[in-house]
Amino acid sequence: MTQTVQSIAPVNGEKTDRDITGQEYLAFTLGKEEYGIDILKVQEIRGYETVTRIANAPDFIKGVVNLRGIIVPIVDMRIKFHLGEPTYDQFTVVIILNVAGRVVGMVVDSVSDVTTLSPEQIKPAPEMGTALNTDYLIGLGTIDQRMLILVDIDKLMSSAEMGLIDKIAA
């Protein structure tokens, strides 16, 4: 039933919901909601380890960790978007992302699977209804009974809202 329409996927440049053909998404959960991000942005998935707190940083920035010699900031999406209880145990998962030339860790409740979504399966996101501003959404992906909220993680992580990147001085 899944028709994979293989066309030449855009190698770079802005991705809009129309450009994506049979892209793979990593599905993860935050509270009860299920999200999906472009698998190509994911560098690795790790367990949660002790972070070094950064003074005077917003509470959703848990701190920094040492990832093989690189200092990587860790963001807890559950705190940022008020989804679920921010608990840290051996099941807590950190998705290490490679976005906008930076490495960022993102704490989520769990990671479920990697799914391929064809453009027909992606519906435009409604104007409201999720914790995330629709600007950062690619759309809603449907697989059988599941619904994935597809996040444009590049845009989200480099947004001023996240405060991960210094505002470029004019």
Partner 1 sequence: MTIDMSQFFQVFFDETEELLAEMEKLLLAIDVSAPDEEDLNAIFRAAHSIKGGAGTFGLTDLTDVTHVLESLLDKIRKGEMALLPEHVDAFLVAKDVLKMQLDGHRLHTPVDQEAIVDARMLLESLSKGGVPKALPAASLDVAPRKETQAHVAAGSGARQFRIELPQIADRDVDALMAELGLLGQISKEMLPDNRAVFTLSCNGGADDIIAICSFILDPNDLKITEEAAQCQTTDADEKAAQEAAQGYGFFDNFQTHEQMVADKAAKEAAQGYGFFDNFETHEMKEAKAGASQPATPAQEVPQAQNPGTPAAVEKKPAARREVDKGAHNSETTSIRVGIEKVDQLINLVGELVITQAMIEQRTNTLDPMIHERLLNSVSQLTRNTRDLQEAVMSIRMIPMDYVFSRFPRMVRDLAGKLGKRIEFVTHGAATELDKGLIERIVDPLTHLVRNSIDHGIEMPDVRREAGKNETGRLSLSAGHQGGNIVIEVTDDGGGLNREKILAKAKSQGLPVTDSMPDADVWQLIFAPGFSTAEVVTDVSGRGVGMDVVKRNITAMGGAVDIRSAKGFGTTISISLPLTLAILDGMSIKVGSEIYILPLGYVVESLQPDPADVKEIAGQGRVVKVRGEYLPLIPLYKMFDIEPRFTDPSQGIVVILESEGKKAALFIDDLVGQQQVVVKNLESNYRKVAGISGATILGDGGVSLIIDVAALLRSSRQLAADESIFS
Nearer to partner 1, 127 or 166 (CB): 166
Rounded CA gap, 18 and 122, in Å? 9
Region binding partner 1 by CB under 8 A among candidate stretches 29-37, 40-48, 86-94, 160-168? 160-168
Locate 148 and state its tokens.
């994935």
Rounded CA gap, 72 and 104, in Å? 6
| C-alpha torsion sign, points 25, 26, 30, 34 | positive
Q: What are phi and psi of 6, to 5 degrees?
A: -90, 110
Check binding of 52 to partner 1 (CB under 8 A).
Answer: yes
Rounded CA gap, 72 and 62, in Å? 11
Nearer to partner 1, 9 or 70 (CB): 70
Region binding partner 1 by CB under 8 A among candidate stretches 39-47, 86-94, 102-110, 127-135? 102-110
Instruction: Find the length of the chain.
Output: 170
Burial 115-132 (b: 16+ CB within 10 A, else e): bebbeebbeebeeeebeb
Residues 55-94, mask of contacts with partner 1 (x by CB under 8 A): xxx-----xxxx-xxxxxx---------------------
Check binding of 164 to partner 1 (CB under 8 A).
Answer: yes
Region binding partner 1 by CB under 8 A among candidate stretches 3-11, 47-55, 106-114, 140-148? 47-55
Smallest distance, Å, CB 73 to partner 1?
Answer: 4
Site for partner 1, rule CB under 8 A: 50-57, 63-66, 68-73, 102-104, 163-166
